[in-house]
Amino acid sequence: MKKSIKAGLVFMTLVMGILFFGHRTEALAADVIEGFHGGTGTKADPYQIATVEEFEILRGNLKVDDGYEHTDYRETYFVLVKDINYDSTKPLTKPKLGLTNCKINGNGHSVNNISSTGNPLFNRVNGTEIKNISFRHCKLKNTPLIAKEVFDAKLSNVDFLNSKISYTIKSKKDYAASSNYGSELRYGGLTNWAYTSKFENITANTTMTIDGIGVYGMLCGHFQGDAKNCLTQGKVNVSVGYKKGERSMCVGAMFGCTDGGAKNLVNKASVTVLAPNKDAFYTVAGISGSGSYLENQKNTDKYYACQNQGKITVKSKWHKDERQSGYVAGIEAGYAICNFDKCQNSGKLVANDIYSVAGITNDLTGIIKNCKNTGTIEAIDTRNTAGIANVVNKKAVNCKNTGKIKNIETFVHDYSGCAAAGIANTLSCESYRSIILNCTNSGEIKSGGKDGLSSAVGIVNIMEQSKKFYSTVKNCKNTGTITGDWWASGIVSLSGNWQVKNNKNVIASCKNTGTIIGIKGGENKPGILGYNQNTKITNCVNKGALKKR
């Protein structure tokens, strides 16, 4: 890395450029910078930053106007040698430089009291590592902290603490950003978008307030890459906007949506959502609001050992016959094409008048295994609730629900009933010969309502069947008390399809010892299966008490 160029040398360089190449307007920032505490910007001798003024040079606010148009620092190294304390009454100005293939080492120091409206620290972050640094007591409005977008970056051992983030985005005009395009806008606490990046050992404890439309997360709006050992705490308060015919909001306490790997992520932040008196479409979760796709199914599990411990509450003003299109889950709330392993929800999930709530994920195409829900789920006038997943299209293995699940209907809906299940509501055969294997429920499951069409079950409510595929429930057990006013069962409520002649669903080696309240007569095998079409039951036993409601 070259040392700082003195004024005379800069003048000679300009003259030579005019004579031989025409006037240069761009230079590497590190070639002309003066004013750092020390260092030369190399790996062995990084630029030292000790004051706010020096940190502002890092942002591109140069002390010397040398006649060059600077764009990025490139292959430049920086280290903090003291804590940096901004004046919170002086908001950040617009950043003038980005970082390309640079390294910033906070060296255990903190940057404090940043305040900003619409301006992040850097123009862009590309191929850059930021590590061993804390950001504390920040106050941000309509801006992420680091940059609107980061590419091929790595953030590690970064703390973002005791800070406040607020976004009011009710249309694209409220906040136009180069990193936002398409029908959904992305916003986050550290960055809006992260492309092919790594987040490791990041802790955020903030209060985030969101009003309007878009995709939001305390760390990142849209994350593409690998994240591990991250923790979110604090509060996320959301007022859902409305977009006719489109998803209006997607919120995760950690990420708005993710594409890539997620390992050992823990959310402890509470999420409180106020939904409008309109048929809004939104997804809310502890880890990722939505958008989970594995490009290569041979990869390791998308979500591994992730936990939600935070309470999620959705208060909807919508009280119509047709339920609001709201989806809530502890880990991931949208449509997931991926795998889950060793994930757990212990947070309380509360909602009213929406479509579905689940402990781990809502609509899954993939494999979910070794996952557990211990959290309470309380719903009113909600179509589906489940301890693990509302829809499983492939496989659920070794999953367990111990949490209490309650879903009560207070008025008659167009699509009748409120369902509650310990493991899943629907075992789908859309793309696979799907199976629920070695799963158990010991939680109390209760549903009921005005129309008497609410099912409750220990394992799965509906086993689908098609001409191409059938579904299987095997080696499953229920010990919890089940109360329903339509079908109430320990293992399965309804199975099969009367239009299918060449396939049979299978329920094998299952056992119920829990009390079943809601037996109405006509059950195919009380305690095991309620309604049967084209289903073979083998080696199943009920030892639980069977009671009428």
Model confidence at 295: pLDDT above 90: no
Task: Give the distance from CA 246 to its chain's centroid.
Answer: 19
Which residues are CB-contacts of 235 (< 8 A; sequence separation ≥ 6)? Answer: 207, 208, 269, 270, 271, 272
How buried is 8 (Cβ within 10 angstroms: 0-12 exposed, 13-18 middle, 19+ buried)? exposed
Average pLDDT over residues 284-290: 96
The DSSP call for residue 234 is E
Q: Tell me the torsion sign for CA atoms 304, 307, 308, 310.
A: negative
Q: Do strands 231-240 and 270-275 pair parallel, antiparallel, or not at all (unpaired)? A: parallel
For 163, the token pair is 């800070």
Q: Which residue has the higher pLDDT, 338 or 292?
A: 338
How buried is 382 (Cβ within 10 angstroms: 0-12 exposed, 13-18 middle, 19+ buried)? buried
pLDDT reported for residue 173: 60
- The Cα 456–Cα 449 span in angstroms is 12
- The Cα 507–Cα 519 span in angstroms is 20
**Measured CA distances, 161 to 84, 190, 276, 340 (Å):** 15, 12, 31, 29
Band (pLDDT 50/70/90 cuts) for residue 22 is very low
Model confidence at 314: pLDDT above 60: yes
Average pLDDT over residues 239-257: 92
Which residues are CB-contacts of 85 (< 8 A; sequence separation ≥ 6)? Answer: 52, 112, 113
Band (pLDDT 50/70/90 cuts) for residue 297 is very low
Average pLDDT over residues 315-340: 92
pLDDT reported for residue 226: 94
Query: Model confidence over 446-462: pLDDT tens digits?
Result: 999 877 889 999 999 99
Model confidence at 339: pLDDT above 80: yes
- The Cα 231–Cα 241 span in angstroms is 27
331 close to 340: Cβ distance less than 8 angstroms: yes
Query: Model confidence over 47-91: pLDDT tens digits?
Result: 999 999 999 999 988 765 555 566 789 999 999 999 999 999 999
- The Cα 549–Cα 543 span in angstroms is 18
Percent of the chain with pLDDT over 90: 75
Query: Model confidence over 474-526: pLDDT tens digits?
Result: 999 999 999 999 899 999 999 988 888 888 999 999 999 999 999 887 788 99
Model confidence at 298: pLDDT above 90: no
For 428, the token pair is 């789908």
**Of 281, 215, 273, nearest in space to 244 by CA:** 281
Model's pTM, two decimal places? 0.91
Options 3.40.50.970, 3.20.20.70, 2.160.20.110, 3.40.1280.10; CATH of 384-549:
2.160.20.110
Which residues are CB-contacts of 417 (< 8 A; sequence separation ≥ 6)? Answer: 383, 409, 447, 449, 451, 453, 454, 455, 486
